[in-house]
Amino acid sequence: MNNYNKTRQNVLADTAVQIAPLLKLDRSGRGSLVSQIVEQITQQVQRGQLAPLSRMPSVRALAAQLSISAFSAVEAYDRLVALGHLVSRRGAGYFVAPRHDFREAAIKAPSGEEPLKVSALLSTELFHHPAEQQLLPAAQPYLPEDWTAAKWLQECTRATLRSPRLLLQGFSHPLGLPELRQFLAAHLQQLGFHLHADDVLLTRSAVHALDLTLRALLKPNDAVLIETPSFPSLRPLLAQQNCRVLEVPRTADGLDLQHLAELVSAHRPKLAIISTCLHNPLGTNLSSEQAHQLLALAQQFDFQIIEDDVFRPLAESSAPSLALMDGLKRVIRIDSTSKILPSLVRVGSLVAAPELLAKIARVKLSTGLGCPDFCEKTLLHLLLSSEFRRHISRIKTRFEIGREILLERLYQLQLAPLAVADGGPFICVHLPQASSGLAIARFALKMGVTLSPSLRFTAPDAQDAPWFRLNVAYAEHPKLHALLHKLAHQADKEMTHGTV
C-alpha cells in the first residue's frame, strides 16, 4: 500500500464515529448480534444521536470495535442500508443517511402548537418499529404480531424451503403460482362462483391489484365513483391516473343511493369502487337490497364495479357479495391475505370476466414481475394446513371480543361509534366536542397511542371531522383505556381551545 492510501485510510478512521460506546450487545444468545447492532444503530439514527452524514467505521473497524466477524459487520451494514438509515459510497465507506424533507413534513397546527409530523401520525400506524415500542399502534390495519402462531409459520416456511422446485432467485408464473390459483378458484367455487384457475390473477397485494386494474381500464379524465370515507390508498392511486373522482357518502345506513344515481346520471362514470363487506374504516356491510340497487344502476348506466373484498374471511357468511350476485359480468373482485396473515406471505388476487382479466394481466406483465416464488408457495402451505381454519376462527373470535369490550367502554364513557361495525378489526369513534380529527390524533400521540384521524379516509380538502379509527385488537390495553377516559372527560377543554 502506498503512502497516499495509508494516509487516506488514517484520515477516514480518525473522522469516523466511535460506535462501540453507543451499543450494548447481549452475547448470552438472546437474539443475533447482527440484529442487535441493526436495532440499536437504527435507534441512534432515529433519535438523532448519530447525526446525518456522519461517517461510520469501516467494516474492519466495526468488526474490531465490537469484537465480531467482518461478515457480521457487512451484514449489519447491508441491513441498515436497506432500511434507509445508512448510505454506502463507493471508495468512501458508510454514512448516516441524510434526512429528506418528506420525513419532516408537518401538518399545519394552530398558533402556539407544535406541528404534527406526518411521519409520526401516518407512518406509525403502518409500521411498528422497535424504537417506537412505547407507542400503542391502535391505528394499524394489520393483525398484532402475536396473533399468528410463530411455530405454524415457521413450519410452513421450512416446508417451502424443502420444495424441490423452489425458485429462490426467481419469480412465480406470470399469472401467479398455478397451484395457488387452483386453490383460490376451488375456494371461490365453494362460495358459489363459477370459475377456474385461469380466471384468477395473483398480485403482490390488493393495492397492486387495484393499481393494475385502474391502469388497464381508465384513461385520463375518466370519471370514477368512490365512497367517502374510503381506504387511504385509494385517492392517491386515482390521482396517478388523472381521473375525475365522484364521491358518494357512506354512513352507518350504507350508501346514499339517491346521490349516487344523480352522479352516475350526470357524469357517466367508467368505474365504481365499493367495499361491500366490512368497509374500511366503518366496518359495516352493505345490505343485500342496496347491493341489488347498485348492480341495477351499473347495468342501466353501463359502468364496471371494483369490489374491495379483503375483509371477506372475517365476515359472516350472510354478508352480500357484488361479484357473486353479478356473476363477474360487471364486477371485478379484489382480495388479499394482508388482513389475516403476516406480511411475509402477503399476496393479492383478482377475479374478473375473461376479457377484463386478460387486459389486467397484460398490464401486470408489462409493468413488473410477479410475486417471489417463495412467498406464493409458503402461502399455499399455510392455506392447505388444518391450522389455517383454526387461525381464522381464533382471530374472528378475538376481534368479536375486542369489539364488544370497546363498544361497552365507549358507552360507559358516553362516547359514540360513528357506526356499529358488523365485524372485522375497526371501529370509528365520533367526538363532537373536539375541534378536529387531527387534534385528537395529536393528543393521542402525546399519550403514546397512534390513531387514524378522519382525514386519512376523506379528500384532502374535506372538513377535518372529529372522528378517528381504532383497531379493536387493542381494546383491552391500559393505554387505550386511559386515552378514551381522557378524551371523554377533557376533550372539550383540551381540543377546542388549542392546548393540545
| Residue 161, in any domain of the structure | no
Question: pLDDT-derived band of residue 475, with 50, 70 and 90 as boundaries?
Answer: very high
**175 plus 252 within the same structural domain:** yes
**135 plus 263 within the same structural domain:** no
Digit-coded pLDDT (tens) for 388-410: 999 999 999 999 999 999 999 99
Residues 6+ apart with CB under 8 A from 44: 22, 50
Q: Which of 346, 339, 428 is nearest to 379 (CA)?
A: 346
Please check the confidence at residue 198 and state whether its pLDDT lies above 60: yes
| Residue 29, in any domain of the structure | yes
**What pLDDT is attached to residue 30?**
58
Q: Are 192 and 323 in contact (CB under 8 A)?
A: no
Query: Which residue has better confidence, 19 or 7?
Result: 19
Question: pLDDT-derived band of residue 172, with 50, 70 and 90 as boundaries?
Answer: low
| Residue 380, in any domain of the structure | no
Counted residue by residue, the chain has a size of: 500
**What pLDDT is attached to residue 123?**
43
Digit-coded pLDDT (tens) for 213-258: 999 999 999 999 999 999 999 999 999 999 999 999 999 999 999 9
Question: pLDDT-derived band of residue 99, with 50, 70 and 90 as boundaries?
Answer: low
**326 plus 445 within the same structural domain:** no
Q: Are 367 and 215 in contact (CB under 8 A)?
A: yes
Least confident of 79-93, 114-128, 246-260, 475-489: 114-128
Please check the confidence at residue 126 and state whether its pLDDT lies above 60: no
Mean pLDDT across 325-345: 94
Q: Which DSSP string corresponds to 350-396?
A: EE--HHHHHHHHHHHHHH----BHHHHHHHHHHHHSHHHHHHHHHHH
**What pLDDT is attached to residue 107?**
40
Please check the confidence at residue 185 and state whether its pLDDT lies above 60: yes
Q: Which helix (H) or strand (E) holds 489?
A: helix 478-494
**What pLDDT is attached to residue 100?**
45
| Residue 163, in any domain of the structure | no
Angle between helix 354-367 and 206-217 (nearest 10): 110
**264 plus 339 within the same structural domain:** yes
Query: Number of folded domains in the chain?
Result: 3
Please check the confidence at residue 168 and state whether its pLDDT lies above 90: no
Least confident of 67-76, 175-184, 313-322, 491-500: 491-500
Q: Are 391 and 427 in contact (CB under 8 A)?
A: no
**200 plus 331 within the same structural domain:** yes
Please check the confidence at residue 272 and state whether its pLDDT lies above 70: yes
Choosing from 322, 341, 371, the residue where a domain stops is 371
**What pLDDT is attached to residue 26?**
82
Digit-coded pLDDT (tens) for 422-473: 999 999 999 998 989 999 999 999 999 999 999 999 998 899 999 999 999 9
Instruction: Report the CATH number at residue 247.
Output: 3.40.640.10
Q: Which three cell numbers stand for residue 118?
A: 406526518
Q: Which of 44, 381, 367 is nearest to 179 (CA)?
A: 381
| Residue 28, in any domain of the structure | yes
Q: What is the mean pLDDT of the chain?
A: 85
Mean pLDDT across 331-360: 94
**What pLDDT is attached to residue 489?**
86
**138 plus 63 within the same structural domain:** no
pTM given for the model: 0.74
Percent of the chain with pLDDT over 70: 85
Least confident of 36-40, 176-180, 207-211, 250-254: 36-40
**What pLDDT is attached to residue 484?**
96
Helix (H, G, I), strand (E, B), or coil: what is residue 128? coil
Mean pLDDT across 11-16: 48
| Residue 164, in any domain of the structure | no
**333 plus 240 within the same structural domain:** yes
| Residue 155, in any domain of the structure | no
| Residue 156, in any domain of the structure | no
Phi, psi dihedrals of residue 52, rounded to the nearest 5°: -55, 140
**What pLDDT is attached to residue 15?**
54
**What pLDDT is attached to residue 11?**
38
Q: Beta 244-251 vs 223-228: how paired, if at all?
A: parallel
Please check the confidence at residue 97 and state whether its pLDDT lies above 80: yes
Most confident by average pLDDT, 99-103, 292-296, 494-498: 292-296
Q: Are 171 and 321 in contact (CB under 8 A)?
A: no
Q: Which three cell numbers stand for residue 337?
A: 391475505
Question: pLDDT-derived band of residue 120, with 50, 70 and 90 as boundaries?
Answer: very low
Please check the confidence at residue 104 and state whether its pLDDT lies above 80: no
Choosing from 371, 406, 424, the residue where a domain stops is 371
**340 plus 243 within the same structural domain:** yes
Q: Which helix (H) or strand (E) holds 211?
A: helix 206-217
**82 plus 126 within the same structural domain:** no
Q: How many CB atoms lie within 10 A of CB 413?
A: 16
Instruction: Report the CATH number at residue 10.
Output: 1.10.10.10
**113 plus 198 within the same structural domain:** no
DSSP-derived secondary structure letter, 119: I
Burial class of residue 385, CB neighbours in 10 A (0-12, 13-18, 19+): middle
Q: Which of 430, 407, 413 is nearest to 482 (CA)?
A: 413
Host domain of residue 82: 3-99
Please check the confidence at residue 143 and state whether its pLDDT lies above 50: yes
Mean pLDDT across 10-16: 47
Q: Which helix (H) or strand (E) holds 248?
A: strand 244-251
Q: Are 199 and 175 in contact (CB under 8 A)?
A: no
Question: pLDDT-derived band of residue 263, with 50, 70 and 90 as boundaries?
Answer: very high
**236 plus 253 within the same structural domain:** yes
Q: Which helix (H) or strand (E) holds 445?
A: helix 437-446
Mean pLDDT across 346-350: 95
Instruction: Report the CATH number at residue 443.
Output: 3.90.1150.10
**116 plus 23 within the same structural domain:** no
Percent of the chain with pLDDT over 90: 60
**What pLDDT is attached to residue 311?**
97
